[in-house]
Amino acid sequence: MTLIRKTRVSGTSLVVTIPSQLVEAFNINGGDLVEIIPVKNGEIIIKKTINDKPYEYEKLNQEILNKTN
């Protein structure tokens, strides 16, 4: 299933909404944490997480560098 969403601006960030079909299928609720994982140029993975400690900036930055090299 491919779903196309349009980004919108919120402050200095961009927002992408999650379609209701996916919200229901993956039991995503307001306030839940999701991981945004850069895979390669132009591709990311977004997944619900049970980890209550999101990535620290430096660790994430290093992972991005490792995946693109």
With left for phi above 0 and alpha for psi between -120 and 50, is residue 11 left, alpha or beta? left
Cα distances from 4 to residues 17, 41, 61, 67, in angstroms, run: 10, 18, 27, 25
| Each residue's pLDDT tens digit, 19-64 | 998 999 989 999 888 888 888 888 998 888 876 665 565 677 677 7
Q: Quote the CA–CA distance of 30 and 67 in Å, as a whole number.
A: 30
Query: Is this structure's pTM higher than 0.85?
Result: no
- What pLDDT band is residue 7 in, cutting at 50, 70 and 90? very high
For residue 23, the model assigns a pLDDT of: 92
Domains of the chain in sequence order: 8-68 (2.10.260)
Q: Quote the CA–CA distance of 56 and 30 in Å, as a whole number.
A: 22
Cα distances from 34 to residues 2, 8, 13, 48, in angstroms, run: 19, 19, 16, 4
Is 67 a residue whose pLDDT tops 80? no
